[in-house]
A and B are shown apart, each in its own frame.
Chain A
Amino acid sequence: MASMREIKRRRGSIQSTQQITKAMKLVSTVKLQKARQRAENSKPYFQYMYKTMTSMLAQAGEINHPYLKSGNSDKVGIVAITSNRGLAGGYNANIARLIQSSGFEKEKVRLYTVGNKGAETLARKGYEIAVDYPEVIEDPTFEDARQIGTRLLSDFSNGEIGEIYIAYTEFKNTVSHVPKLMKLLPIDPAEMQTEEGEAGQLTLMNFEPSEEEAIGLLIPKYVTSILYGAFVEAVASENGARMQAMDSATNNAEEIINDLELKYNRARQGAITQELTEIIAGADAIG
């Protein structure tokens, strides 16, 4: 049995770790609340954007627009959204795993990473990182999304990449975050699902300028808004994941402390018993 002093020291060290995890949990809870609010506020915009795109493409039918078909390149651009900080459970690893298991060959993937952790992991695995935007995820703005979107579209138009995907963590609710790979371009009208009931009563829409021009102008806006939406959801998911990770770390620390407490008491009782036995034995020997 370990000595009393040793047990006491271990317990102290675990207690201070627990204090840290507890504090981190509180911080991420507050951050999560803010991020979730933001994600919820931005929902109407994206839902409407998506709805407009779907109804537009459904109506437009066979429009020959470069954004609607794969480019000449066989390379795939993936926007990987992770965090700059660790200690968030499987949050960052899940995105890396998602990309590795996506079925795209390593050599054909060009990554546009947002967030350090994903960039580090994926670069180590041998993926090509085209551009890295680590600072964006700290406080994503619509302007950031626009800049990244512009870059993606110009690479797409230049034929550097033929398809664009986005890998992010969808925020379902506080405890459920799902890593998701979503196709951004080319947009396949058949893949976009129209909301039920909505489809039947599509009003015939006119476009100004012409449909083709309007699509050319709208798609960059669509890309920007999807990116921004993914950023705010990813931030909410990151804080949610960290909150969960820190919560279980705090609980685990509690368990170990209890266990050590028990061992400590047992060791103390053992020491007392031993001392008593020695005294009694000593007294017997004299008497």
Chain B
Amino acid sequence: MAENNRFELKIIEPDGVFFEGGSDFLEFTSVEGEMGVYKNHIPLTTILEPCVMKIHDGGERKKAAILGGFIEIQKERITVLAEDANWPEEIDVTRAEAARQRAKDRLARKEAGLDVVRAEAALKRAVARIQTAK
């Protein structure tokens, strides 16, 4: 892929810079739905759902679990501010499965005083982790 199709990508999490490098196509899920971004996209800021972010570069493809945050897209530069980010090899699948089960149980029981938003967020995070690790 030609060099001029690439944009700069930077993923920052609270503990430091998670990823910095080039990419020519980026896939992720925002609160509005799934999105794919090439170079020269219109400037856009949007909020991210916990999701699998796919970073394409030439023929290569990297996956990372992005657990909430937001993304700022500019023509030649994309910055992701993730609340937490993991590479597939950093993810403990058994733990993520357990977390998913816990969140599902909590939602299924529909107890009074249940923080639905929080349980759903936990479920989404667990699912994003599991999908990334696959």
Residues 37-71 (chain B) with a chain A CB within 8 angstroms: 42-47, 69-70
Given contacts A52-B72, A203-B74, A217-B31, contact A228 B45 (CB under 8 A): no
User: How far is the CB of B5 from the nearest CB of chain A, in Å?
Assistant: 21
Interface residues on B, range: 20 to 34
**Counting CB contacts under 8 A, is B30 at the interface?**
yes
Q: Bound state CA distance, A217 and B43, in angstroms? A: 19
Partner of A45, one of B14, B30, B44: B14
The contact string, 1 if C-beta is below 8 Å from chain B, for chain A 196-210, is 000000011111110
Among B15, B44, B69, B79, which residue has the most Cβ atoms of chain A within 10 A?
B15
**Counting CB contacts under 8 A, is A83 at the interface?**
no
**Counting CB contacts under 8 A, is A29 at the interface?**
no
User: How far is the CB of A60 from the nearest CB of chain B, in Å?
Assistant: 11
Among A41, A45, A48, A56, which residue has the most Cβ atoms of chain B within 10 A?
A45
Is B43 within 8 A of A204, CB to CB?
Answer: yes
Is A207 within 8 A of B46, CB to CB?
Answer: yes
> Closest residue to A146 on the B side, CB-wise?
B83
Among A44, A56, A224, which residue has the most Cβ atoms of chain B within 10 A?
A44
> Closest residue to B32 on the A side, CB-wise?
A208
Residues in chain A near residue B70, CB distance under 8 A = 52, 217-218, 221
Residues in chain A near residue B44, CB distance under 8 A = 205-208
Q: Bound state CA distance, A205 and B105, in angstroms? A: 41
Q: Bound state CA distance, A56 and B70, in angstroms? A: 13
Q: Bound state CA distance, A228 and B84, in angstroms? A: 13
**Counting CB contacts under 8 A, is B81 at the interface?**
yes
Among A42, A204, A208, which residue has the most Cβ atoms of chain B within 10 A?
A208
Given contacts A49-B81, A52-B81, A218-B70, contact A208 B46 (CB under 8 A): yes
Q: What are 12 A-B contacts defined by CB distance under 8 Å?
A: A38-B15, A44-B12, A45-B12, A142-B15, A142-B84, A203-B43, A204-B43, A205-B45, A206-B45, A208-B30, A208-B45, A221-B69
- A38-B15, A205-B44, A208-B31 known, 19 other contacts, Cβ within 8 Å: A44-B17, A45-B12, A45-B13, A48-B12, A49-B81, A52-B72, A52-B81, A142-B14, A142-B15, A142-B83, A205-B72, A207-B45, A208-B32, A208-B46, A218-B47, A221-B69, A221-B70, A221-B81, A228-B14
Write the residues of chain B forming the contact surface with A, with a CB cutoff of 8 angstroms.
12-17, 30-32, 42-47, 69-70, 72, 74, 79, 81, 83-84
